[in-house]
Amino acid sequence: MMKIRQVPRQLQPVFPIADNKLSSLNRTKAIVLSRASFDMIVYTFNGFLVLFVNVFCFYLIARLPT
């Protein structure tokens, strides 16, 4: 019989789980909201923010009177 591997600390959910009587949907949500996927969400948001700032700056430069 295989031993169940311990989950690494950085993959545990960011938000603490109040009770262990959760439905499987809530357990899946807790797994989805783990730190790794949260970091990916933050990186994606930062990428879109930088892209938007770049487009806005180019728009302002294009509106400059020549």
Q: Provide the 3-class DSSP secondary structure of residue 6.
A: coil
**pTM, whole model, 2 decimals?**
0.41
Give the sign of the dihedral formed by CA 59, CA 60, CA 65, CA 66.
negative
Residue-level pLDDT at 58: 96
Residue-level pLDDT at 52: 97
Residue-level pLDDT at 53: 97
Residue-level pLDDT at 44: 92
Helical segments of the chain, H only: 24-32, 35-62
Q: What is the mean pLDDT of each run of 10 residues along the chain (66 residues)?
A: 61 55 64 73 93 96 86
